[in-house]
Amino acid sequence: MSQAKVFGIVLAGGEGKRLMPLTADRAKPAVPFAGQYRLIDFALSNLVNSGLHKIVVLTQYKSHSLDRHVSHTWRLPAMLNSYVASVPAQQRLGKRWFSGSADAIRQSLNLINDESPDIVVVVGADHVYRMDFSQMIEAHIASGRSATVAAIRQPISLSDQFGVIDVDPDDRTLIREFLEKPDDAQGLPDSPGEILASMGNYVFTADKLVEAVIRDSTLEDSKHDMGGDIIPSFVAQGDCGVYDLKDNVVPGSTDRDRDYWRDVGTIDSFYDAHMDLISTLPIFNLYNEKWPIFAQQLNSPPAKFVRDSRGSTGTMIDSIISLGSVISGAHIERSVLGPWDNVESGAAVVDSILFDRVNVQAGAVVRRAILDKNVIVKEGASVGVDREHDLRRGFTVTDSGLTVVEKFGIVEP
């Protein structure tokens, strides 16, 4: 990485309404993912692997679970003057909470002032991906611009779901216009069937970021949002560049997963991201040792597969089973199980996601379901099998037919 002094800010105050009920009791970045991880672990792992060692996590909404996870998991060596610190809304500018992502930075300028960095990297906390930010930082410095937006190529048919970046035809690293979910986006010059979508990750020259959020705080018609207000202000000045993720080379990545990025903002996309993990050649590979995704080190025994009282060994196909889990003569297929799950004799868990300490009792059936922590599926019960029955029981069911059972829920026969 350049010798520039770099400071990292993770925006982690999101409420995550579209992920309800998984966010009923926790902030979106604290939602468990792939068994032992939390969503925020992907952003923090990318920053740390990129060489950033001074990082703050700005929290707000129901942040206890998130704060606890950051303090337990992300302990960088203090002797090297490194840290990941969780910083809640401090009300430094009055008795109010953050009114947007830009306002979160405006209210936390003391953190930037204390470190006096040359460069500030600002990232979201709820995307699943790998990225070497040091390469983006180098590109930002070389451009001489004040702001750079990370972007990923997406099919033009999905343009109405993203913030779309329109590049200058004479300089494809310069953003000409930033379009919010347009219906008539133009394809890229080198790929007419694709657009550049903002990833919600930014690199700023520090003093220019400070000036921008202070100026934005005085505007009555601003929503004080990084993507909606701050970036367009730099674009209007002709001072905002784009960094294409296809140019980013992460050690250990493959052609299959190097450009992977998933916005897990809905129940369906959260589910799909899990299904991306479990194939023989996964679309997103958790087993890349050269660019690890760090997680809380659980003091737990290995997962265990045992015969039940009838001598049946059960089966486990295309699934991820976390530490501490015990599978007793059950059938597990295309599923992700969290730590300390217990699936008993004759039970079946198929196409499902189980969080921590879920108990699926004998003969129960779980299909296309997401079970939050400490859910109990009683003996002989089923969930995810009958949509109307699940709705009558008060469970959340998506339009695609996924059933979600919230924390401590009990599924009766």
Q: Residue 22 has which token pair?
A: 């998984």
> 261 and 247 in contact (C-beta within 8 Å)?
no
Count the Cβ atoms, other than its own, within 10 Å of residue 351.
18
Using a 10 angstrom Cβ sphere, with 0-12 exposed, 13-18 middle and 19 or more buried, the burial of residue 394 is exposed
Q: What is the CA radius of gyration of the chain?
A: 22
Q: What three-state secondary structure class fits 381? A: coil
Looking up tokens 């690293």 gives: 173
Q: How far apart are CA 292 and CA 211, in angstroms?
A: 35
Question: Does residue 290 have a known ligand-binding role?
Answer: no
Q: How far apart are CA 268 and CA 277, in angstroms?
A: 15
| First-last CA distance in the chain | 58
CA torsion through residues 187, 189, 190, 192, sign: positive
Instruction: Tell me: cis bond preceding 169? Omega within 30 of 0 counts.
Output: no
Element (H, E) at 109: helix 109-115
Instruction: Please give the distance of CA 178 from its chain centroid, rounded to a whole number.
Output: 23
Question: Does residue 181 have a known ligand-binding role?
Answer: yes
Question: Does residue 384 have a known ligand-binding role?
Answer: no
Question: Does residue 252 have a known ligand-binding role?
Answer: no
Start-end of H helices in 58-205: 64-73, 101-106, 109-115, 133-143
Binding site as annotated, residues: 163, 180-181, 198
Binding site as annotated, residues for alpha-D-glucose 1-phosphate: 163, 180-181, 198
